[in-house]
Amino acid sequence: MENILIKNGEIYTKDKILYDCDLLITNSIISEVGKNININNKSNIQIINAHGKKVLPGFIDIHTHGAIGYDTMDANYESLNNISMYLASHGITSFCATTMTEDIQHIIDALTNINYTITKGTDGATILGAYLEGPFISEKQKGAQNVNYIIKPDVKLLEKFTNLSNNCLKVIAIAPEKDPNGYFINYCNKKNIKVSLGHTNASYEEMKNAVDYGASIAVHVYNAMKGFHHREPGALGEALLDNRLYCELICDFIHSHPAAVKMLIKMKGTEKIILISDAMLACGLSDGEYEFGGQKVIVDQSIARIQNGSLAGSTLSLDKAVANITTLGIPLSDAAKMASFNPAKAINIDDKKGSIDIGKDADIVILDNDLSVNMTIVNGNIVYRK
Ligand SMILES: [Zn+2]
């Protein structure tokens, strides 16, 4: 393994920006950050000139289904590996492979493959685990999920999922009104699986109850959740108001109007928003007809919809989401945090990932001045160069 010295970059640490500074990577770990780092033994070290470039913690996408024609539900190594390489080319250094509401065996196949792929390793971004989106959701807020396979939260079935996949589940999306006594959420708490509330028609109270039981994330806020009314604030009201909840956001300005994004940032602050792509397999491909979650999807001007007009995931990636946030007057440091530190914290991996700190995994993205990805480093390996 090669060590890397990034020279003279604009380095974004958690609390401040260090100008004209260096970052040293040894043994896949960030080992030193500062001015004019001295290397005594210059052999076996690659030097990267980052002058005029921005050095950030790699982006973490906890909710993505696929890209460039590949989908998590393909349930094979090649698909996940290709997705991992595509993501790396957009600055993502780790992600949760996200399943869809389909028949149980198909979900089990996808989960066992995620575990297999984690064990084997990928050539691009690291797979952190699985994000189970459905089948435990609401028929009324199904979005592009297939209604035929929606079922009630089922602890026995979840046990089967975790046993067969070596407990690779990191996040499970549920509609909280289907788990009124918190029985399912409690089980997830015990298994260290984060519960994300979404595809839900929950009232304000039902949503809040679930947070009291320990749910900690809201799925792609504004989308596929009961909206706000001043006499019944709905699932959205609770998501906006409760500081215990992280809010996922698909910041493509298609799933939410820029003003709605501004409002979310005003309500939640920059600490509690997680940028996600919710990307589907047409991400990185041209407009056309595709299949997603067993349904026909038309992608027109990069907007993916099923035949009834519901949005069907996105064609977004986090580099673009971060750039979009900055167009609202939010500094890059805060925008980037929403795609690195916040997701890491939300799924309890911030001890290793999500920020540029001594001792953390060397997951780094280097951006050019126009915020396009120049280089991506995963675990100390350069996996993408422009
Ligand atoms: Zn999704």
Interval 329-381: pLDDT, tens = 999 999 999 999 999 999 999 999 999 999 999 999 999 999 999 999 999 99
Average pLDDT on 53-66 reads: 98
Q: Does the pLDDT at position 106 exceed 70?
A: yes
In single-letter form, the type of residue at position 372 comes to S
| Domain boundaries, given as residue ranges, for the chain | 3-56+356-385, 59-346
Q: How far apart are CA 339 and CA 57, in angstroms?
A: 9
Q: Return the residue matching tokens 């906890």.
A: 62
Ligand 1 centre to CA of 296 (Å) is 16
CB 252 within 8 A of CB 258: no
Q: Which of 304, 316, 319 is nearest to 277 (CA)?
A: 316
Q: How far apart are CA 170 and CA 154, in angstroms?
A: 17
Q: How far apart are CA 70 and CA 77, in angstroms?
A: 10
**What percent of the chain lies above the pLDDT cut of 70?**
99
3-56+356-385: CATH architecture:
Roll (2.30)
In single-letter form, the type of residue at position 227 comes to G
Ligand 1 centre to CA of 198 (Å) is 10
pLDDT computed for residue 1 by the predictor: 63
Ligand 1 centre to CA of 331 (Å) is 27
Q: pLDDT, tens digit, for every residue of 183-242?
A: 999 999 999 999 999 999 999 999 999 999 999 999 999 999 999 999 999 999 999 999
Q: Does the pLDDT at position 43 exceed 80?
A: no
Ligand 1 centre to CA of 229 (Å) is 25
Start-to-end CA distance of the chain, whole Å, equals 22
Q: Is 304 exposed, middle or buried (0-12, 13-18, 19+ CB in 10 A)?
A: buried
Q: Which of 281, 213, 215, 272 is nearest to 248 (CA)?
A: 272
Six-digit token pair at 273? Answer: 């928003």
Residue 177: pLDDT band (50, 70, 90) is very high
Q: How far apart are CA 171 and CA 371, in angstroms?
A: 29
Output DSSP code: residue 58.
P
Six-digit token pair at 18? Answer: 């260090």
Q: Does the pLDDT at position 134 exceed 90?
A: no
Number of other residues whose CB lies within 10 A of the CB of residue 271: 13
Residue 143: pLDDT band (50, 70, 90) is confident
For residue 183, the surrounding DSSP H or E stretch is helix 183-190
For residue 185, the surrounding DSSP H or E stretch is helix 183-190
Please give the CATH number for the structural domain made up of 59-346: 3.20.20.140
Ligand 1 centre to CA of 133 (Å) is 6
In single-letter form, the type of residue at position 243 comes to N
Q: How far apart are CA 276 and CA 13, in angstroms?
A: 21
Q: Which of 165, 167, 121, 143 is nearest to 305 (CA)?
A: 143
Where b means 16+ CB within 10 Å and e means fewer, 57-67 reads bbbbbbbbbbb
pLDDT computed for residue 42 by the predictor: 67
Residue 28: pLDDT band (50, 70, 90) is very high
**How do beta strands 194-197 and 381-385 pair?**
unpaired
Q: Return the residue matching tokens 């609770």.
A: 238
Q: Is the dihedral of CA 352, 358, 364, 368 positive or negative?
A: positive
Give the residue numbers marked as catalytic.
278
Residue 295: pLDDT band (50, 70, 90) is confident
Across the chain, mean pLDDT equals: 96
Q: How far apart are CA 18 and CA 50, in angstroms?
A: 13
Q: Does the pLDDT at position 2 exceed 80?
A: no
pLDDT computed for residue 371 by the predictor: 98
CA distances to 7, 136, 284, 339 from 316, in Å: 31, 25, 8, 13
Q: pLDDT, tens digit, for every residue of 298-330?
A: 999 999 999 889 999 999 999 999 999 999 999
Ligand 1 centre to CA of 353 (Å) is 23
Six-digit token pair at 204? Answer: 């304000």
Q: How far apart are CA 4 and CA 80, in angstroms?
A: 27
In the structure, ligand 1 is a single-atom ion and the residues with CB under 5 Å from it are 133, 278
Number of H helices, E strands in the chain: 10, 21
Torsional class of 8: left (φ above 0), alpha (ψ -120 to 50), beta (otherwise) = left
3-state secondary structure of 59: strand
